[in-house]
Amino acid sequence: MRRRSDSDALTLGVVHLVSNEAWRPRLRAAGVHFGLSAVAGAVVSACVLWLWYPGALASLHGVFAMMLVLLAVDLVLGPVCTFLVFDRRKKSLPMDLAIIAVIQIVALAYGIHVIQQGRPQYVLLVKDRFEVVSPAELSHAAKAQAQANPAVRSPSLLPQWLAVRSPDSAEQRNTILFESVSGGRDLQHHPELYIPLTREAPTAALRGISLDRIRQLNPTHRARIDAAVAASGLPESDLRVLPLRGPARDGAVLVALPSGRVLEILAIQPW
């Protein structure tokens, strides 16, 4: 009889555990946490994809993989932890929830910082190609030089499109060349050389790649290329493509002749 009584008690305990009344408060708390996390994730995603990495720059930087990890932490781990610890009978419940919130906020802030440091702060025309430079690539001295350069706008959430001029002296050119060969800074990492894009774009556009060549390099993206040409509103003879070197993959910048005005970035092979 005692074994049967113990078995019945165990069965009742299991039934109570899986009953709606037992799970409902946990699910409600986890749902509220998920909703708040979803709002925070949506705000962060909008900032990242619309401001820091607009258009094809997100694909060229491989930011989607980083965002996936960031949102997984934000939308999954936090609510799951809340679900596991939530019990109104626990005196430590407020502290447990506060710890979860702090850990989630710290993780989210760290992820945002990493993504922000890798964003394309400058998209720079270097001779006949575009290079992207992130905040993490610039030293404190270089950032100070950027602030002192009248061609550079004050810090902006959007990428700034500029050009890089050649150094004035042969000595400076050789110094930068030797530094870049040894794995150091290259021309695009010297903000004192930044100039308005309009000063170099027309010459660079004349050396640009034809659309026919780009179609040959990207046979599976012909429709995307044709759509970009149609959206430009210009005849194909007035369009050229300049390569853009990205951290994750390279892309192509569609520019107009004769001004060299940037029309669109395409996530396709430029060479």
Kindly report, residue by residue over 231-268, the tens digit of the pLDDT: 999 999 999 999 999 999 999 999 999 999 999 999 99
**Amino acid making up residue 176:** I
Of all residues in the chain, the percent with pLDDT exceeding 70 is 91
Residue with the larger pLDDT of the pair 14 and 108? 108
For 19, list phi and psi in degrees, rounded to 5. Answer: -70, 155
- Whole-number Å distance between alpha carbons of 119 and 96: 35
Distance between first and last Cα of the chain: 83
Please tell me whether residue 260 adopts helix, strand or coil conformation: coil
Task: Say what the pLDDT of residue 75 is.
Answer: 83
pLDDT tens-place string over residues 3-47: 455 455 445 444 454 455 667 888 888 899 999 999 999 999 999
Question: pLDDT tens, 152-182?
Answer: 987 788 999 999 998 887 877 777 777 777 7
Domain ranges (residues) in the chain: 2-117, 120-199, 200-271
pLDDT at residue 59 tops 80: yes
The DSSP line for 39-65 is: HHHHHHHHHIIIIIS-TTHHHHHTHHH
Looking at residues 49-56, what average pLDDT do you find?
A: 94
Whether 187 contacts 126, CB under 8 Å: yes
**CA atoms within 13 A of residue 135's CA, in its CB half-sphere:** 14
Structure tokens at 61: 């930087």
Looking at residue 20, its pLDDT comes to 54
Q: Are 112 and 104 in contact (CB under 8 A)?
A: no
Are 264 and 231 a contacting pair, CB within 8 Å? yes
Q: Residue 90 pLDDT more than 50?
A: yes
Mean pLDDT of 213-218: 96
Contacts of 236 (CB under 8 A, 6+ apart): 211, 229
Cβ(117)–Cβ(48) below 8 Å: no
Distance (Å, whole) CA 4 – CA 13: 14
Enter the tokens of residue 116.
Answer: 């922000």
Q: Closest Cα to residue 123, out of 199, 53, 27?
A: 53
Averaged pLDDT of the chain: 88
User: Is this prediction's pTM over 0.75?
Assistant: yes
